[in-house]
Amino acid sequence: MCGIIGMISKNEFSSGDLIEALKKLEYRGYDSAGLAMIDNGIRIVKSVGGIKNLEEKAEEWKARIGIAHTRWATHGSVTEANAHPQLSNNGKIAVVHNGIIENFQEQKKFLIENGFTFYSQTDTELIPNMIEYHMKRGYDFVEAVKRSLKHLEGQYAVVAIHKDENKLIGIRKEAPLVVGVGKGIFFIASDIPSFLDYTKNVIFLEEKDMVIVDDELQIFNLLKDAIVERPVVKIDWDAEQAKKGEFEHFFIKEISEQVEVISKLSMLDKEIIKDLADEIRKARGVYIVACGTASHAAMYGLYLFSKISKRHINFCVASEFPHFHHFLTKKSLVIAVSQSGETADTLAAIRAAKAADARVISITNVMGSTLMRESDKSIIQRAGPEISVVSTKAYTSQLAILSLLAYELAGKLEEGREKLKELIRYVYYLTSLNMREHVRKLAEGLRYTEHMYIIGRGLQYPTALEAALKIKEVSYIHAEAYAGGELKHGTIALIEQGTPCIVFTSKENEKETISNAIELKTRGAYIIGVGPNNNEVFDFFIKVRESGELNSICQIIPIQILAYQLALLRGCDPDRPRNLAKSVTVK
Ligand code: AGP
């Protein structure tokens, strides 16, 4: 959830450089931030609020080693004292941390009994003090870090520095940490975008890897108790992709990028799709699991595999999946869908599958992510870095991949690829200024709304779920989605004069869905139609041409735009919704 970064360079860099790198991780948390640099001792600055506040407060320091942190609070309220970096009692060791130390209370008690004092409510403060404790017993910095982290339970990614050591040390357990290898400069960070301005060469650390960087780089694996080699991978992400450029927010930039994503995926290597489809063909019992937006993509897969490939797969939100482990055998296949590849609930689901010797394949956007490394096979979404906390282009890329898989399973991959190609120009239109202007009129009418209902049948049902999530997470309007036929089984009691209801239609289910819209209108609802044909029941209409099985890709786009505009009109920050973090790395 938090974003951490460490930088070590042959040449001096400034606190401003470190803050710039940290900004690329702000999507991971933004309730407080801080940095520490080694310059005649440890200089440290922290602030509550977004990185902008830290930037205003920080002086222009220069150093060759520094660490920084942007926080999404778990232990301890949002205060400067609880912000990272956290210091050891002797002021020599500073640490940034992402994750949760589960046994921190007993470890803290142990340190207090050994004379240490705690100044924050964080679990993190334990780490620098534990390192100090081991150093006092004669271990050097590296060995002390190793000993300290070995006995900590939970999930963590940590970067540590010592005022007298020309070293940066990083260590990971069930939380993401990657190494950027530049010319005379190294980074240890939660995610790649933070160092893309300097290098595209990345080392993906494995579980319990500890990386020590001074003039050289060495990786020690705590599980193997040995020095290990990890390959340097050149990634094809671009520094510009991780910047806002001419756009005001990442959210709208990423909505606009969907056209490139669809275009790239329409040309995806056939063998990659065939390989995964073969896994599905071979399996006895296929389960698709994911969380949040990715779960709506997974649910789309459920409908699509039935419709196009005439195959039944089982869908489950990842956090519930471990309750179904009883059905898993070594012939089962679990397909996990996750943009980040780091979502704790999704990882727990695939670990439950692995425990039953089932096969696991994944659809993920992040190369080298934990999900990718723990899966038997993976497909990379090719959506490029998704920085906005609210997922848009990653979602449509998941839909596109699932559609290709469904077509391949039906022996019609070429048809699927052609359909995606035909969509490219249209997706461009859907993200254009014309569409944005049209949707803005709707947003103006809805800006003071408190509740909204959204319905769709068949493939439009997961679209309705995703539309509701988009509106909720970014505009804080309560939006609830139902399968078209379900609302009348209870929730229709909540419809009053003027209650906005979005109704997704398609050629296939137009009649029934319009009947449902009429039921709502009869109770006073304000009906917003999204689909191929206007209808007298609609008070507002967003035309989205009929695209059959790919309607889901097209129909969500105007609602992503609606959510964005509602956020702006209601004074919400679209890139940094309250209480959320991009990847939820805690269960
Ligand atoms: C999307 O807008 C969300 N913020 C969230 O639901 C997200 O999709 C979910 O946490 C899953 O993330 P993942 O795809 O990285 O696993």
pLDDT given for residue 80 in this prediction: 87
- With cut-offs at 50, 70 and 90, classify the pLDDT of residue 225: very high
- With cut-offs at 50, 70 and 90, classify the pLDDT of residue 582: confident
How close is the Cα of 474 to the center of ligand 1, in Å? 13
* Cβ contacts of 522 within 8 Å, gap of 6 or more: none
364 within ligand 1 shell (Cβ under 6 A): no
Tokens of 211: 């990386």
Q: Which ligand 1 atom is at minimum distance from the Cα of 582?
A: 4
Tell me the percentage of the chain whose pLDDT exceeds 90. 83
For 410-415, the CB contacts below 8 A with 24+ separation are 410/308, 410/309, 410/310, 412/308, 413/270, 413/273, 413/274
pLDDT given for residue 195 in this prediction: 95
How close is the Cα of 172 to the center of ligand 1, in Å? 22
Q: Answer yes or no: is pLDDT of 113 > 80.
A: yes
Q: How many helices and strands, by DSSP H and E, does the chain display? A: 17, 25
The C-alpha angle with vertex 38 and arms to 36 and 42, in degrees rounded to 5, equals: 65
Q: Answer yes or no: is pLDDT of 178 > 80.
A: yes
How close is the Cα of 387 to the center of ligand 1, in Å? 12
Question: Which of 478, 484, 472, 466 lies closest to 557, judged by CA?
Answer: 466
As a three-state string, the secondary structure of 389-404 is CCCCHHHHHHHHHHHH
CA distance 573 to 252: 12
- With cut-offs at 50, 70 and 90, classify the pLDDT of residue 576: confident
Tokens of 39: 């310059």
Q: How many CB atoms lie within 10 A of CB 24?
A: 26
CA-to-CA dists, residue 30 to 95, 189, 485, 582, angstroms = 18, 16, 40, 11
CA-to-CA dists, residue 143 to 134, 136, 153, 212, 217, angstroms = 8, 12, 18, 11, 16
> What 8-state DSSP symbol labels residue 300?
H
pLDDT given for residue 90 in this prediction: 97
336 within ligand 1 shell (Cβ under 6 A): no
Tell me the percentage of the chain whose pLDDT exceeds 70. 99
Question: Which of 168, 150, 267 lies closest to 213, judged by CA?
Answer: 168
* Cβ contacts of 237 within 8 Å, gap of 6 or more: 192, 193, 196, 200, 384, 385
Q: Answer yes or no: is pLDDT of 4 > 90.
A: yes
Kindly report, residue by residue over 421-459, the tens digit of the pLDDT: 999 999 999 999 999 999 999 999 999 999 999 999 999
Q: Answer yes or no: is pLDDT of 356 > 80.
A: yes
Q: Answer yes or no: is pLDDT of 488 > 90.
A: no
Q: Answer yes or no: is pLDDT of 199 > 90.
A: yes
pLDDT given for residue 157 in this prediction: 94
pLDDT given for residue 243 in this prediction: 80
Q: Which ligand 1 atom is at minimum distance from the Cα of 371?
A: 16
Which amino acid, residue 583?
A: S
Kindly report, residue by residue over 83-112, the tens digit of the pLDDT: 999 999 999 999 999 988 889 899 999 999
How close is the Cα of 507 to the center of ligand 1, in Å? 30
Q: At what angle do helices 270-282 and 413-430 cross, to 10 degrees?
A: 120
* Cβ contacts of 557 within 8 Å, gap of 6 or more: 255, 258, 396, 427, 430, 431, 435, 544
Mean pLDDT of 269-293: 96
In this structure, of 139-148, 212-221, 231-240, 576-585, the range with the lowest mean pLDDT score is 576-585
How close is the Cα of 51 to the center of ligand 1, in Å? 22
Average pLDDT, the chain: 94
Q: Which ligand 1 atom is at minimum distance from the Cα of 290?
A: 16
pLDDT given for residue 239 in this prediction: 73
584 within ligand 1 shell (Cβ under 6 A): yes
Q: Answer yes or no: is pLDDT of 277 > 80.
A: yes
Atom 6 of ligand 1: nearest residue by CA position: 292
Atom 5 of ligand 1: nearest residue by CA position: 292
CA distance 574 to 572: 6
582 is catalytic: yes
The C-alpha angle with vertex 299 and arms to 297 and 304, in degrees rounded to 5, equals: 90
pLDDT given for residue 232 in this prediction: 95
In this structure, of 23-32, 261-270, 466-475, the range with the lowest mean pLDDT score is 23-32
pLDDT given for residue 324 in this prediction: 86
pLDDT given for residue 151 in this prediction: 80
- With cut-offs at 50, 70 and 90, classify the pLDDT of residue 325: confident
- With cut-offs at 50, 70 and 90, classify the pLDDT of residue 31: confident
Q: Answer yes or no: is pLDDT of 242 > 80.
A: no
Residue among 299, 339, 392 whose CB has most ligand 1 atoms within 8 A, to mutate:
339
CA distance 586 to 100: 8
> Is 309:410 a contact under the CB 8 Å cutoff?
yes
Question: Which of 326, 300, 329 lies closest to 313, judged by CA?
Answer: 300
Q: Answer yes or no: is pLDDT of 26 > 80.
A: yes
pLDDT given for residue 100 in this prediction: 87
Mean pLDDT of 505-520: 95
344 within ligand 1 shell (Cβ under 6 A): no
Tokens of 442: 């709707």
- With cut-offs at 50, 70 and 90, classify the pLDDT of residue 152: confident
583 within ligand 1 shell (Cβ under 6 A): yes
Buried b (16+ CB within 10 A) or exposed e, 518-549: ebbbeeebbbbbbbbeebebbbbbbebeebeb
pLDDT given for residue 244 in this prediction: 82
What is this structure's pTM? 0.85
CA distance 308 to 170: 47
2 is catalytic: yes
Mean pLDDT of 517-538: 96
Query: Got the DSSP string for 356-400?
Result: TT-EEEEEESSTT-HHHHHSSEEEE-------SSS-SHHHHHHHH
> Is 414:289 a contact under the CB 8 Å cutoff?
no
Q: Return the beta strands (E) in 206-275 as ranges.
A: 209-213, 217-221, 226-228, 233-234
Kindly report, residue by residue over 564-574, the tens digit of the pLDDT: 999 999 999 99
In this structure, of 13-17, 57-61, 323-327, the range with the lowest mean pLDDT score is 323-327
- With cut-offs at 50, 70 and 90, classify the pLDDT of residue 74: confident
How close is the Cα of 384 to the center of ligand 1, in Å? 15
Helices (H), 140-246: 141-150
CA distance 5 to 8: 10
256 within ligand 1 shell (Cβ under 6 A): no
Mean pLDDT of 521-545: 97
pLDDT given for residue 76 in this prediction: 73
